[in-house]
Amino acid sequence: MHNIMAIFRKEINAFFSSPMAYIFLVVFALINGYFFNIQFFLINESDMRVLFSIIPMVYLFFIPAVSMGLISREKGIGTIEIISTLPIKERDIVIGKYLAGFTLILLGLVATLIHYINLYYVGSDIDHGAVFTGYIGLALLGGVYTSIGLFASSLTENQVIAFIIGIAIVLIFFMMDKLLFFFPASMTGVIQYLSTDFHLSNMSRGVLDTRNLIYFGSIIGFFLTITTRVLESRKWS
């Protein structure tokens, strides 16, 4: 745990010692705020479902951008070689970096609570249970995409390539339930279950099903595990 927290603090300090974290948080808030508020001002009506449909779209590009340098940057400047010689397990490196990236995503998500507060004070009819489960779903979705972005970052020392790989993989998971007509009927149930948007939509409606939680946790665990294997294979190559 000590090694994980050391890596976590190192990455958080790296985020906030450069403009990257601040740019991410500001742009993330502005994009979500713009699309949320434009509906309110155009038709004088808005609810949290609008926000819950916007954020996953923003995630598709922002999370790969945030996570693309978590490992590839270390590879590019050679510090990953130094870290690998220290008495730190690859698993600890992966978890520490993952938690740092995930924390930044959570900070951006917390900032969107201002829209919930605004709707509450203007007297909108809010389904508080659906908002609660929706935010849990968005946090878990952010966790899944961060684990994918971290995996993409472990594959190359080029951050741009890591970004492209990350976007490609998250798009596959996002689009699965929208392309069911391309698959045989016998496979549609499995393909739909693998889609992140399918599980998020359930939670955004106020449904907190253990199957959704197991899905998100399993995908995160899978990508963190194979990222660890990538680092271990590099050590012995």
Residue 237 predicted with pLDDT over 60: no
Instruction: Please give the C-alpha separations between residue 213 and each of 139, 140, 153, 154, 190, in angstroms, as whole numbers.
Output: 11, 8, 25, 26, 17
Q: What is the pLDDT of residue 46?
A: 63
Q: What is the pLDDT of residue 163?
A: 95
% of the chain surpassing 70 pLDDT: 89
Q: What is the mean pLDDT of residues 108-127?
A: 80
Residue 4 predicted with pLDDT over 80: yes
Residue 84 predicted with pLDDT over 70: no
**Using CA atoms, how far apart are residues 19 and 177, in angstroms rounded to an integer?**
36
Q: What is the mean pLDDT of residues 166-177?
A: 91
Query: At 210, which amino acid appears?
Result: T
Q: 235: pLDDT confidence band, cut at 50, 70 and 90?
A: low
Q: What is the pLDDT of residue 168?
A: 95
**Using CA atoms, how far apart are residues 126 and 49, in angstroms rounded to an integer?**
10
Q: 116: pLDDT confidence band, cut at 50, 70 and 90?
A: confident
Find all residues with CB under 8 Å of 32, minimum gap 6, and list them. 51, 54, 55, 58, 112, 115
Quick one: three-class SS letters along the chain? CHHHHHHHHHHHHHHHCCHHHHHHHHHHHHHHHHHHHHHHHHHCCCCHHHHHHHHHHHHHHHHHHHHCHHHHHHHHHCHHHHHHHCCCCHHHHHHHHHHHHHHHHHHHHHHCHHHHHHHHHCCCCCCHHHHHHHHHHHHHHHHHHHHHHHHHHHCCCCHHHHHHHHHHHHHHHHHHHHCHHHCCHHHHHHHHHHCHHHHHHHHHCCCCCHHHHHHHHHHHHHHHHHHHHHHHHHHHC
**Using CA atoms, how far apart are residues 219 and 195, in angstroms rounded to an integer?**
11
Q: What is the mean pLDDT of residues 101-120?
A: 88
Residue 41 predicted with pLDDT over 80: no
Biggest alpha carbon distance in the chain? Answer: 61
Q: What is the pLDDT of residue 161?
A: 95
Find all residues with CB under 8 Å of 52, minimum gap 6, and list them. 134, 137, 138, 200, 204
Structure tokens at 34: 């713009």
Q: What is the pLDDT of residue 185?
A: 77
Which of 4-18, 68-82, 146-160, 191-205 has maximum average pLDDT?
Answer: 146-160
Task: Say what the pTM is.
Answer: 0.90
Q: What is the mean pLDDT of residues 105-132?
A: 82
Residue 41 near residue 122 (C-beta atoms within 8 A): no
Q: 217: pLDDT confidence band, cut at 50, 70 and 90?
A: very high
Residue 40 predicted with pLDDT over 60: yes
Q: What is the mean pLDDT of residues 179-192?
A: 78
| Higher per-residue confidence, 121 vs 3 | 3
Q: What is the pLDDT of residue 105?
A: 94
Q: What is the mean pLDDT of residues 81-102?
A: 83
